[in-house]
């Protein structure tokens, strides 16, 4: 079974080092040559590792023997060349040097003359006439870069021709080496000297060409060696980086596994608590059945346990005594209904009424804090009381306290409505990115609570509905404990008394731009243009509502809060399209509502 190249490590190859060295010494007698064979074998293994990890030794043996045969053939050719250039009998070293130089010059000249135009002319002008590239460019009337390109291509062609004719760069470089020897010169200034220089010019030019070709060849070999070393270095660096990346990836996987295990442990503990809570409720129900007590829902009425089980919020819901909560909220609803006439007439409520309100408000606020401290999702303001999983418990508990309990059919319908809206709420929370402005989040929650309460109260009788929401306090933010705008309770919902549209615009603009630094006047004008367009589109009847004592005390109507929430969201959406509206959006996105009223008579707010 084959493995990938990367599966065979250098350590696996080096394990056969002693065997490779022994085989090399058995093939060649010279210890130095044997060491060279071993080194060349390791280089071949690093460049192209064997594919089969089970036959490494056989592969190394083939590489070593092939390398030894190639070296032997190269040595034979070298000796033949040495014999060919050996000095004939009777030929002095000086004469032999002249003959070798002449042969080399002839090879170079023939190679140059074999070039095609315009490369041949470029070489002759550059090396035989010794003209610089700029002079050649002027002579040929072409750009200097064109001349350099022609010379470069011609030299490449010469090297290729010499490689083909002599069997490799090493071979023809040795043959042409005599041309690089010293060329005799004479002192300039005499006729004989000038004649000698002109006579030697072709030889000197040929020597220059050969020197250039030799330099390029040597540079090519050195460059190839550098490239190979650079490639090996890059490969080693890549292996190190890949190893580090693998280690980091493994560490990340381990950490993720650890976090997942913690989450699973927490989820297991939460589910176990939920199961325990359900078992407690089942035991209570069994006890109630044995005693003959009728009940609706999972928990018997008056047991204190939540009527409808929600496993996700079990720890928060189970911590509340819903029987006691129902009594307190029912008493507070009736008390707030008594408060409304005094406030509507701008009269002070009796002290005993105020004292009772303070005593009943405490337990209800305690319920809110109890829900916040549990696993209940974060809601705006006192929005936990309007959350479907809480509101259905409260509705059942208050009606039990009022002596108008839900029947089995109503319990089933109410629980179904609550679960549907809770599923919607959890889906919306999952889809949030966390960067949404509080204004938009609060508006969305208020709309969902409004739809839930419409559907939830639809299952009640008229008497039950009036018990939960007395007609004189129905729809008032504050007195109405089941108001959809309860999510705005505790937020910066406020009002302003105005005289005109321009007055409202001036006050709102002042609030939004207070301590705001615009980038420049153009940015301020762009934001102001959107604001003025929004202000001009406000309906006149929304700016002419008289301020009543109810509104003056912060008891705004449901529909009015909803209306100005939508209008504030519309302003936010318009400013989102302005590049320089960031500071204003930050202020507006906090969720503040500024509801306009005009000073008027004491008629009830419509």
Model pLDDT for residues 238-287, shown as the tens digit of each residue: 877 778 777 777 877 888 787 777 777 766 765 665 565 566 556 655 65
What pLDDT does 535 receive? 92
**Phi, psi torsion values for 496, nearest 5 degrees:** -140, 140
CB contact at 8 A, 507 and 594: yes
| Coil, helix or strand at residue 296 | coil
Average the pLDDT over 128-142 and give the result: 85
CB contact at 8 A, 480 and 443: no
d(CA 147, CA 119): 9
| Coil, helix or strand at residue 168 | coil
Cα dist from 209 to 11, 165, 201, 604, whole Å:
48, 17, 12, 110
CB contact at 8 A, 446 and 413: no
Taking the mean position of all CA atoms in its chain, how far away is CA 300?
51
Question: Is residue 224's pLDDT more than 60?
Answer: no
Question: Is residue 77's pLDDT more than 50?
Answer: yes
Q: How buried is 603 (Cβ within 10 angstroms: 0-12 exposed, 13-18 middle, 19+ buried)?
A: exposed
Model-wide pTM > 0.75: no
Q: How much of the chain, in percent, has pLDDT values that exceed 90? A: 8
Higher pLDDT, 361 or 213: 361
| Coil, helix or strand at residue 145 | helix
d(CA 468, CA 116): 106
Average the pLDDT over 139-160 and give the result: 87
What pLDDT does 200 receive? 36
Ranking 64-73, 285-294, 384-393 by mean pLDDT, the lowest is 285-294
| Coil, helix or strand at residue 100 | helix
pLDDT category of residue 30 using cuts at 50, 70 and 90 = confident
The tens digit of pLDDT for each residue in 82-102 reads: 665 555 555 555 565 666 666
306 membership: H or E segment, kind and range = none
Question: Is residue 76's pLDDT more than 60?
Answer: yes
What pLDDT does 256 receive? 78
d(CA 403, CA 334): 14
| Coil, helix or strand at residue 598 | strand
Cβ count within 10 A of residue 503: 15
| Coil, helix or strand at residue 370 | helix
| Coil, helix or strand at residue 129 | coil
User: What rounded mean pLDDT belongs to the chain?
Assistant: 75
Q: How buried is 438 (Cβ within 10 angstroms: 0-12 exposed, 13-18 middle, 19+ buried)?
A: middle
What pLDDT does 193 receive? 34
| Coil, helix or strand at residue 398 | helix
Please tell me the number of Cα atoms within 13 Å of 56 on its side-chain side. Answer: 22
């Amino acid at each position: 079974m084959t493995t990938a190249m990367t599966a065979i490590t250098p350590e696996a190859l080096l394990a056969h080092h002693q065997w490779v060295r022994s085989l090399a010494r058995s093939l060649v007698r010279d210890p130095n040559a044997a060491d060279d064979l071993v080194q060349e074998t390791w280089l071949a293994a690093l460049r192209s590792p064997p594919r089969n990890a089970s036959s490494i030794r056989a592969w190394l043996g083939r590489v070593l023997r092939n390398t030894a045969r190639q070296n032997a053939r190269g040595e034979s050719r070298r000796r033949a060349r040495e014999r060919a250039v050996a000095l004939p009998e009777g030929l002095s070293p000086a004469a032999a040097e002249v003959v070798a130089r002449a042969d080399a010059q002839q090879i170079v000249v023939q190679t140059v003359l074999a070039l095609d135009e315009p490369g041949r002319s470029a070489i002759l002008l550059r090396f035989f006439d010794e003209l610089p590239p700029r002079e050649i460019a002027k002579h040929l009337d072409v750009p200097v870069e064109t001349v350099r390109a022609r010379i470069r291509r011609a030299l490449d062609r010469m090297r290729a021709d010499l490689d083909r004719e002599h069997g490799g760069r090493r071979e023809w470089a040795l043959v042409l080496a005599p041309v690089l020897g010293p060329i005799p010169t004479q002192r300039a200034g005499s006729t004989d000297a000038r004649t000698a220089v002109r006579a030697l010019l072709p030889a000197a030019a040929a020597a220059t060409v050969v020197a250039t070709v030799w330099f390029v060849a040597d540079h090519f070999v050195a460059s190839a060696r550098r490239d190979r070393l650079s490639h090996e270095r890059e490969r080693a660096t890549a292996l190190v980086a890949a190893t580090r990346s693998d280690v980091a990836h493994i560490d990340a996987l381990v950490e993720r596994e650890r976090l997942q295990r913690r989450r699973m442990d927490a989820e297991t503990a939460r589910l176990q608590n939920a199961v325990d809570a359900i078992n407690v409720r089942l035991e209570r129900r069994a006890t109630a059945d044995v005693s003959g007590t009728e009940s609706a829902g999972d928990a018997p009425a008056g047991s204190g346990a939540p009527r409808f089980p929600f496993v996700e919020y079990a720890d928060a819901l189970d911590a509340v005594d819903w029987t006691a909560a129902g009594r307190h909220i029912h008493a507070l609803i009736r008390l707030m209904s008594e408060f409304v006439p005094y406030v509507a007439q701008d009269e002070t409520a009796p002290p005993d009424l105020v004292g009772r309100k303070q005593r009943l408000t405490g337990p209800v606020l305690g319920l809110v804090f109890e829900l916040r401290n549990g696993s209940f999702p974060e809601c705006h303001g006192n929005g936990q009381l309007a959350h479907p999983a809480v509101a259905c418990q409260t509705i059942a508990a208050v009606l039990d306290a009022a002596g108008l309990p839900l029947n089995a059919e109503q319990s089933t319908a109410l629980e179904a409505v609550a679960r549907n809206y809770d599923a919607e709420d959890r889906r919306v929370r999952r889809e949030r990115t966390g960067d949404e402005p509080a204004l938009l989040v609060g508006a969305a929650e208020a709309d969902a609570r409004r739809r839930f309460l419409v559907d939830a109260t639809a299952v009640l009788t008229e008497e039950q509905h009036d018990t939960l929401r007395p007609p004189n306090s129905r729809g008032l933010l504050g007195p109405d404990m089941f108001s959809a705008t309860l999510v705005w309770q505790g937020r910066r919902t406020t009002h302003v008394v105005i005289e005109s549209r321009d007055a409202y615009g001036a006050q709102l603009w002042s609030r939004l731009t207070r301590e705001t630094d615009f980038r420049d006047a153009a940015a301020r004008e762009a934001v102001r243009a959107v604001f003025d367009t929004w202000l001009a589109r406000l309906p006149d009847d929304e700016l002419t509502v008289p301020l009543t004592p109810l509104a003056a005390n912060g008891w705004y109507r449901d529909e009015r809060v909803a209306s100005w929430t939508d209008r504030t969201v519309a302003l936010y959406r318009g400013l989102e399209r302005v590049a320089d509206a960031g500071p204003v959006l930050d202020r507006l996105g906090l969720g503040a509502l500024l509801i306009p009223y005009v000073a008027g008579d004491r008629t009830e707010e419509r």
